[in-house]
Amino acid sequence: MTEKRNVNYTPEERGKVIVRTGIIGIVANVMLAAFKAFIGIASSSVAVVSDALNNLSDALSSFITIIGTKLAGRKPDKKHPLGYGRLEYMSALIVSAIVLYAGATALVDSVKKIISPETPDYSVVSLIILGAAIAVKIVLGLYTRSKGKAVNSGSLTASGSDALNDAILSSSVLATALVYMFFHISLEAWVGAVIALFIIKAGIGMISDAVNEMLGARADAELVKMIKTAALRVPGVQGAYDLLINNYGPDRNIASLHVEVDDVLTVKDIDKISREIQAEVFRDTAVIISAVGVYSVNTTDDEAAKMRDKIRSIVMSHDGVLQLHGFYADAEKKQVTFDMVLDFKVDDRLKLSDSIKSEILAVYPGYDINITLDIDSSDI
């Protein structure tokens, strides 16, 4: 999902917040991992050891996040004129692989314990430390997630949510220990396996998110709405369409769009409108509008307006058509042009376009009908 830049922070401030939060996460997770590893080894609990490995992977993830942020923050140069922001997605991919490996290792250990069980030996002190660790993880998770949202960092937000999930998993380990102490039923190997599966699931989800960003995910609906709302505020703009957002890393979005304007405007008028759109959009979202295309709207021909309404009814009656825009009719040359947005579920786009064109020609014979098929790249 394309990210919306948080305009309350400069890139430098954002980087500092991510690094500072990451360092806090590293220190906290290393300490938690050490405590849990000691308890797990002393009590022969594979569940606690698995939980410790999870904390260690979290610490390593925070370290890689910091490195990725530092590298991604390098200034643009001749070789990479749009900067290095996408390196954050690559670092997220590395973090995901580490999480996945930690989960797989923990799962193997848990299965071994299920096959050849060992009797755990918990102490009151170890349970107190586990309880304190859970409290620390909750505080760390809430703090990291809040900072992630503040600077619009997907990696920090995910780390915070992951920490809160870890607290839940650690609580299950504590519950397992209490069950053994009071009822002498050993479930810790099975709980360790469940924790490992949760870690694996989280790793797969992180990989999916990182790959989606690198491939080019669909633009965030809220961001799309903000950009189009800003464009429509500009006097003379009657509609905003064909928004394409190219993401070059968190908070680095460059976009283009088309707007509908009266066909009587001069080049000077259009230039003024384009510049105002760029300013309005950047002020609201910090997204750079690199290009503004123009659709002219018939304003002096009543017959063209009637044609538009009639053709719109024909087009929108077909299943799979999401929108018609950019309509213009030239009665003198007998030409009609418009853009049509189709749903991805339409298997044969050209067949549907030809069918619609035939229906229009049946109503307006002799006209040259030009239909441009647009991609459903953002919410309409």
Q: Could you tell me the CA-to-CA distances from 135 to 68, 122, 132, 141, 170 in Å, in that order? A: 29, 19, 5, 10, 10
* CB of 1 closer than 8 Å to CB of 212: yes
Phi, psi at 216, each rounded to 5° = 110, 85
pLDDT given for residue 121 in this prediction: 66
Of 191, 215, 239, the position where a domain reaches its end is 215
Is the pLDDT score of 6 beyond 60?
no
pLDDT given for residue 8 in this prediction: 61
Task: Give me the chain's average pLDDT, please.
Answer: 84
Of 215, 239, 262, the position where a domain reaches its end is 215
pLDDT given for residue 163 in this prediction: 75
Q: Is residue 4 part of a domain?
A: no
Is the pLDDT score of 46 beyond 70?
no
- C-alpha 101/C-alpha 124 separation (Å) is 32
Q: Is residue 148 part of a domain?
A: yes
Residues constituting the chain: 380
Same domain? For 228 and 176 the reply is no
Q: Is residue 3 part of a domain?
A: no
- C-alpha 246/C-alpha 219 separation (Å) is 9
Domain that holds residue 337: 221-374
Is the pLDDT score of 275 beyond 50?
yes
Same domain? For 369 and 229 the reply is yes
Rounded to an integer, the average pLDDT of 193-216 is 82
pLDDT given for residue 154 in this prediction: 65
Same domain? For 148 and 45 the reply is yes
Of 215, 234, 261, the position where a domain reaches its end is 215
Residue showing tokens 């848990």: 110
Rounded to an integer, the average pLDDT of 250-271 is 92
Residue 243 binned pLDDT confidence (cut-offs 50, 70, 90): very high
Taking only the tens place, the pLDDT of each residue in 143-180 is 888 888 887 776 677 677 777 777 776 777 788 878 87
Same domain? For 294 and 363 the reply is yes
- C-alpha 11/C-alpha 248 separation (Å) is 14
Chain-centroid distance, C-alpha 305: 40
Same domain? For 73 and 114 the reply is yes
**What CATH number has the domain bearing residue 84?**
1.20.1510.10
Of 20-29, 75-84, 275-284, the one with minimum mean pLDDT is 75-84
Same domain? For 187 and 74 the reply is yes
Q: Could you tell me the CA-to-CA distances from 367 to 147, 353, 355, 370 in Å, in that order? A: 59, 16, 15, 9
Same domain? For 232 and 202 the reply is no
Same domain? For 40 and 147 the reply is yes
- C-alpha 23/C-alpha 84 separation (Å) is 22
Number of domains composing the chain = 2
Taking only the tens place, the pLDDT of each residue in 303-313 is 898 999 999 99
Q: Is the pTM of this model over 0.95?
A: no
Same domain? For 248 and 189 the reply is no
Share of the chain above pLDDT 70, in %: 92
**What CATH number has the domain bearing residue 368?**
3.30.70.1350
Element (H, E) at 375: none
Which has more pLDDT, 212 or 358? 358
Same domain? For 148 and 233 the reply is no
Rounded to an integer, the average pLDDT of 70-92 is 82
Residue showing tokens 């040359």: 333
Token digits for 5?
């830049």
